[in-house]
């Protein structure tokens, strides 16, 4: 009999592509969703599940026959709560994962994969940034590891996948990149920070997750990614997808820090709290958060892809 996999959040941007990638494997795939969307896919086995409202025992009854569980839910750092930021992110990113992993005790579940953020990688490798201390979102992602993984019994492996910025398109979904794309579309001169980041396509991420399910190697956290790009390069790639040319002006860090401070003051005035502190995050944003991933790509068997193509798809999905 095929092994059973439950994708929690499988109707979302990343979850959709994981489902597409795993459909080629000998797996019996189920999709768990919290809120009923306007249209449910007819080709998927569906389970409505709100982990927050379930007890550990009721959740255990629902998941006990699955071998693999993927948690693709949680809150992104681009969600700005009006309540205490840490309480919000802890409630969305840590609480459901703790309950889920606790519920796997005594079941057939062999692996639980939690989709996280590459900020936790930099919290470990660049401690001078004090990311978990300064940013509620990053702290919640770190606690996904330190508070959740120890709850598993010996028969279940729990891993967090540390993910950089992801590009691509999913039917009926508007990518979170739309505000940046609109800015580049409308402005002939783009003012931005120094530094750069790592990017990957959503198809690559799905391939990496499939490999992690298949590998006999265990790691508590897997850092994945693809291309290292400076922000100026990424902006030009988006401009090319828009069919436009853009001049990029890099702002001095002193000015960017001033903007970050004003954003922080504005947040206090209007009652919003950022998951990434807008003042302290400037040091991260203006640095090169690059990754050395050649060994990872070989061990997880996901291929290099044309990131310009992924960005083209992202731009089209935003309606441009």
153 part of a folded domain? yes
Q: Is residue 133 part of a domain?
A: yes
From CA 246, how far away is CA 244, in angstroms rounded?
7
Task: Flag whether 190 is in a domain.
Answer: no
Give how many domains the chain has, as a whole number: 1
Structure tokens at 288: 């090169």
CA-based R_g, the chain, Å:
20
108: in domain: yes
Q: How far apart are CA 206 and CA 114, in angstroms?
A: 13
Q: Give domain status of residue 76, yes or no.
A: yes
Q: Are 242 and 315 in contact (CB under 8 A)?
A: yes
> Which structural domain range is residue 28 located in?
3-172+198-225+292-305
Six token digits for residue 250: 């890099």
Q: Report how far residue 153's alpha carbon sits from residue 170's, in angstroms, rounded to the nearest whole number.
A: 35
How much is the pLDDT for 301?
A: 82
Q: What pLDDT tens digit does each residue of the chain (320 aa) get?
A: 788 999 999 888 999 999 989 987 888 999 998 877 666 666 678 888 889 899 999 999 999 999 999 999 899 998 888 889 999 999 999 999 999 999 999 999 999 999 999 999 999 999 999 999 999 999 999 999 999 999 999 999 999 999 999 999 998 889 999 999 999 999 999 999 999 999 999 999 999 999 999 999 999 999 999 999 999 999 999 999 999 999 999 999 999 999 999 998 998 888 888 999 999 999 999 999 999 998 888 889 888 899 999 999 999 999 99
What pLDDT does residue 318 have? Answer: 95
Q: What is the pLDDT of residue 11?
A: 86
298 found inside a domain: yes
Q: CATH number, domain at 98?
A: 3.40.50.720
CA distance 165 to 160: 16
Residue partners of 35: CB distance under 8 A and separation at least 6:
none
The structure tokens listed for 278 are 């807008």
Which of 209, 239, 236 lies closest to 222, judged by CA?
209
CA distances from 45 to 21, 33, 48, 70 (A): 16, 11, 10, 15
Contacts of 38 (CB under 8 A, 6+ apart): none
Q: Do the domain assignments include residue 115?
A: yes
Residue in 105, 111, 7 with CA at minimum distance from that of residue 60: 105
């Amino acid at each position: 009999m095929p092994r059973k996999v439950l994708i929690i959040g499988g109707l979302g941007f990343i979850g959709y592509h994981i489902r597409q990638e795993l459909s080629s494997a000998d797996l019996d795939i189920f999709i768990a969703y919290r809120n009923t969307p306007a249209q449910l896919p007819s080709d998927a086995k569906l389970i409505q599940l709100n982990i927050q409202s379930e007890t550990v025992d009721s959740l255990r009854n629902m998941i006990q026959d699955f071998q693999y569980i993927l948690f693709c839910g949680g809150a992104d750092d681009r969600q700005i709560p009006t309540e205490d930021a840490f309480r919000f992110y802890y409630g969305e990113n840590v609480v459901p994962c703790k309950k889920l992993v606790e519920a796997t005790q005594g079941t057939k579940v062999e692996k639980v994969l939690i989709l996280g953020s590459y900020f936790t990688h930099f919290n470990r490798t660049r401690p001078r940034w004090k990311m978990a201390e300064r940013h509620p979102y990053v702290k919640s992602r770190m606690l996904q590891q330190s508070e959740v993984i120890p709850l598993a019994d010996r028969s279940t492996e729990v891993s967090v996948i540390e993910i950089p910025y992801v590009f691509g398109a999913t039917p009926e979904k508007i990518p979170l990149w739309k505000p940046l794309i609109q800015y580049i579309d409308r402005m002939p001169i783009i003012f931005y920070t120094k530094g750069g980041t790592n990017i990957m396509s959503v198809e690559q991420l799905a391939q990496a997750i499939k490999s992690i399910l298949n590998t006999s190697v265990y790691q508590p956290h897997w850092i994945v990614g693809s291309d290292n790009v400076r922000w100026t390069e990424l902006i030009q790639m988006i401009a090319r997808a828009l069919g436009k040319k853009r001049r990029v002006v890099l702002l001095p860090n002193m000015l960017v820090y001033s903007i970050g401070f004003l954003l922080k003051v504005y947040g206090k005035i209007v009652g919003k709290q950022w998951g990434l502190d807008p003042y302290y995050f400037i040091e991260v944003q203006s640095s090169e958060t690059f990754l050395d991933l050649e060994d990872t790509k070989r061990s997880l068997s996901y291929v290099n892809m044309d990131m310009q193509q992924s960005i083209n798809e992202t731009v089209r999905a935003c309606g441009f």
